[in-house]
Chain A
Amino acid sequence: MSADTVIEADGLTKAYGRKVAVDHISFTVGRGEIFGLLGPNGAGKTTTILMLLGLTDISDGKVNVLGFDPAREPLSVKRRVGYLPDEVGFYEQLTAADNLRYTARLIGFTSMDREKRIAEALDRVGLAEFADNRVGTFSRGMRQRLGLAEILMKGAQIAILDEPTSGLDPHATSELLGIIRRFKAEGVSVLLSSHLLERVQSVCDRVALFSAGRIALIGSVSELGREVLGAGYVVDIEADGAGLADRLALIPGVSRVEQTGIGKLRLHAERDVRPEAAAEVVALHGRLKYLGVQEPSLEAIYTHYFENRPDETLKEGARNAA
């Protein structure tokens, strides 16, 4: 395990009797990385997470979290890893601060340290003014944020978030994703699972696409896009200048230039050709209004990938139905 790897799973397997929920998956998560476990419900994401935390037995394979084996040293792992379960629950009759106090006592913080950490954590997720409100009055989004506050209070090196955005409205989602980005800025690694591909695409450095207990694809979203869709880069440009389309077509690596509107062109290329395209516009003394590269959409990747493997998709469908 290299110094920059915080989670390393190798051939991780979980079987319930003859049913295999997680089937020999391997992945690594680096320090300060946001890693997404994506896939439909029942694909084995939560089971994987529980194995990482030592909350369920590992049937086969090896896993290493911050240098500890979760099956043998669960306390060391759990002291350093924060976990936000799917649809996190709190004690409804207690206040937000009291809920955190209970957790802080379980972790074993001293009382001085405890109050400071709680106040700080609540402040950072924007719940400072609700510290003394009972959690029973909280909305879904506030509960999720309280869950993140718990992880912040813990001072975790890894945050494991199971479906953090499910059931949230767009505003609450973007707030939550903002907090998750701040985790990364502080060097906390984030492992998050989701079945909502679009929402989390924007925050993940790398993703693993789960299907029927296996990792079907792993890598950054743009890597996967090229691998699966074979599309390469799509660069949209909006500019004027005579003969711009012809000049752009000559840039090495550009395979096709498409006219998508008045003064709007779309380049299909095998690499990111934005610098060269901009240089061409400037060389023609044209005015550049828009220049952007299209990120491949995870949803497109996912759909495309499984359309080509109808067997697996069918099997997965049967599992979800069951």
Chain B
Amino acid sequence: MRREGSAFNGLGVVMLKELADHLTSIRFVVLELVVMALAVVTVYVAAQDIKNTVAEDPFLFLKFFTTSSGSLPSFLFWLSLFVPVVSIGLAFDSINGEHNRRTLSRILSQPIYRDALLFGKFLGALLTLAVALVVLWLLVIGLGLLFIGIPPGGDEIARAFVFLLVTIVYAGVWLALALLFSILFRSAATAALATLGLWLFFFVIWPVLAGEIAQIVVPPDPRYAALGLQTPGTAILEQVLSRLSPSTLFGEVVVAILDPTTRALGPIYLSQLQGAVLGAPLPLGASVLIAWPQIVGLLATTILLFVIGYVVFQRQEVRA
């Protein structure tokens, strides 16, 4: 038998409340200020660098996102730190917080389904992040214009925009993970630590571990080593393993989108490069196509994590 009414009853109400809560929370304001400061500094330093060295690059503007200078990592690096941390910060206490404040049973006794609460919380947090990322994005482009005084081309803006969208999708992965852990763990501190721990694992440990595991499973061939090359089997396995991490997927997408000369993500044989004009930029569509599996992978991870959380939440007891 079908249940009555729509699962989305009250969805908008929950989403708007979450959005308002997040945007006024001190937690969020602090994080945002830190990133704003970093954005200004990295873009300024990048501008100095760009002026000195690569003034003839046709995709000058995209360099703002990727140029690192000396000890200061690129804006992209800060973003890849900021997005997961803020996502986790926004969602780690979304469901267990309602439990612990004892508001959950009161809210669920209103004529809405649990679906609306969960989905509303996810969308509210995602919208908050999207607002923050759009602001950051505009800030970088604006500062770039100020510092070097050359307007970006249409293709550059289009690429930067795709980059923005992908970043929001990437944020969705960590939001969904934090939301899942906020359902699984009753204590907000446990949920925050578990999510941050998992992120650190994927961000720092997994890339190293993937290499090690690949070397154990497919030992490097000494003939390749003698030529100073990686054994193809080992390299492929390493890449397959490292792609289990959302951070790796995001990194690969960004390389393909922000660097138009990228022709492949991963090891390819020399024979595959025959006829290619190396160093020539690809059109945007082709770049997106290269990164498409990774983009779909990020989307699928988000959906999968959300669905697991949804199923667990539906079956959870509401009593404190």
Q: How far is the CA of A47 from the CA of B5 in the complex (A)?
A: 25
Which residues of chain A are within 8 angstroms of B317 by Cβ–Cβ distance? 56
Which residues of chain A are within 8 angstroms of B111 by Cβ–Cβ distance? 74-76, 78-79, 106-108
Instruction: Indicate if the CB atoms of B13 and A106 lie closer than 8 Å.
Output: yes
Find A106's partner among B3, B4, B101, B107 (CB 8 Å cutoff): B107
Is B10's CB within 8 Å of the partner chain A? yes
Instruction: Indicate if the CB atoms of A83 and B109 lie closer than 8 Å.
Output: yes
Find A85's partner among B13, B102, B110 (CB 8 Å cutoff): B102
Q: How far is the CA of A88 from the CA of B102 in the complex (A)?
A: 6
Is B235's CB within 8 Å of the partner chain A? no
Q: How far is the CA of A50 from the CA of B105 in the complex (A)?
A: 9
Q: How far is the CA of A72 from the CA of B165 in the complex (A)?
A: 40
A236–chain B nearest beta-carbon distance, Å = 44
Which residues of chain B are within 8 angstroms of A53 by Cβ–Cβ distance? 109
Instruction: Indicate if the CB atoms of A85 and B105 lie closer than 8 Å.
Output: yes
Contact with B along A24-54 (1 / 0, CB 8 A): 0000000000000000000000110010010
Task: Name B317's closest neighbour in chain A (CB-CB).
Answer: A56
A74–chain B nearest beta-carbon distance, Å = 7
A148–chain B nearest beta-carbon distance, Å = 12
Instruction: Indicate if the CB atoms of A85 and B109 lie closer than 8 Å.
Output: yes
A55-B318, A56-B317, A87-B320 are known contacts. Are A75 and B102 too (CB-CB below 8 A)?
Answer: no
Instruction: Indicate if the CB atoms of A92 and B4 lie closer than 8 Å.
Output: no
Is B106's CB within 8 Å of the partner chain A? yes
> What is the interface of chain A mostly: helix, strand, loop, or mixed?
mixed
Find B103's partner among A74, A75, A84, A91 (CB 8 Å cutoff): A91
Which residues of chain A are within 8 angstroms of B9 by Cβ–Cβ distance? 75, 108
Instruction: Indicate if the CB atoms of A50 and B319 lie closer than 8 Å.
Output: yes
Task: Name A46's closest neighbour in chain B (CB-CB).
Answer: B319
Task: Name B10's closest neighbour in chain A (CB-CB).
Answer: A106
A50-B319, A56-B318, A106-B112 are known contacts. Are A88 and B4 too (CB-CB below 8 A)?
Answer: no
Instruction: Indicate if the CB atoms of B110 and A87 lie closer than 8 Å.
Output: no
> What is the interface of chain B mostly: helix, strand, loop, or mixed?
loop
Is A73's CB within 8 Å of the partner chain B? yes
Which residues of chain B are within 8 angstroms of A76 by Cβ–Cβ distance? 4, 111
Interface size counted on chain B using CB atoms at 8 A: 26
A150–chain B nearest beta-carbon distance, Å = 7
Instruction: Indicate if the CB atoms of B318 and A74 lie closer than 8 Å.
Output: no
Is A64's CB within 8 Å of the partner chain B? no
A106-B112, A107-B111 are known contacts. Are A150 and B106 too (CB-CB below 8 A)?
Answer: yes
Is A105's CB within 8 Å of the partner chain B? yes
Which residues of chain B are within 8 angstroms of A286 by Cβ–Cβ distance? none
Is B108's CB within 8 Å of the partner chain A? yes
A262–chain B nearest beta-carbon distance, Å = 55
Which residues of chain B are within 8 angstroms of A47 by Cβ–Cβ distance? 319
Is B1's CB within 8 Å of the partner chain A? yes
- Central interface residue in A75, A76, A106, A147, by most chain B CB within 10 Å: A106
Is A61's CB within 8 Å of the partner chain B? no
Instruction: Indicate if the CB atoms of B4 and A83 lie closer than 8 Å.
Output: no
Instruction: Indicate if the CB atoms of A85 and B106 lie closer than 8 Å.
Output: yes
Instruction: Indicate if the CB atoms of B320 and A55 lie closer than 8 Å.
Output: no
CB contact list, B1-50 vs A, under 8 A: 1, 3-5, 9-10, 13-14, 17, 21
Q: How far is the CA of A252 from the CA of B262 in the complex (A)?
A: 106
Which residues of chain A are within 8 angstroms of B318 by Cβ–Cβ distance? 50, 55-56
Instruction: Indicate if the CB atoms of B13 and A102 lie closer than 8 Å.
Output: yes
B263–chain A nearest beta-carbon distance, Å = 52
Q: How far is the CA of A85 from the CA of B317 in the complex (A)?
A: 14
A75-B5, A88-B102 are known contacts. Are A103 and B319 too (CB-CB below 8 A)?
Answer: no
Which residues of chain B are within 8 angstroms of A102 by Cβ–Cβ distance? 13, 17
CB contact list, B62-106 vs A, under 8 A: 101-103, 105-106
Instruction: Indicate if the CB atoms of A72 and B109 lie closer than 8 Å.
Output: no
Find A55's partner among B13, B102, B105 (CB 8 Å cutoff): B105
| B residues at A contact (CB < 8 Å) | 1, 3-5, 9-10, 13-14, 17, 21, 101-103, 105-113, 317-320
21 A–B contact pairs at CB < 8 A? A47-B319, A55-B318, A56-B318, A72-B3, A72-B4, A75-B5, A75-B9, A78-B110, A78-B111, A82-B109, A85-B102, A85-B105, A85-B109, A86-B320, A87-B102, A88-B106, A89-B103, A90-B101, A106-B110, A108-B9, A108-B10
Other than A75-B5, A106-B112, give 8 A-B pairs with Cβ distance below 8 A: A53-B109, A55-B109, A56-B318, A74-B111, A85-B320, A89-B103, A108-B111, A147-B106
| A residues at B contact (CB < 8 Å) | 46-47, 50, 53, 55-56, 72-76, 78-79, 81-93, 102-103, 105-108, 147, 150
Q: Which 7 A-B pairs have the closest CB atoms?
A: A89-B102, A83-B109, A79-B111, A105-B13, A106-B110, A75-B5, A85-B105
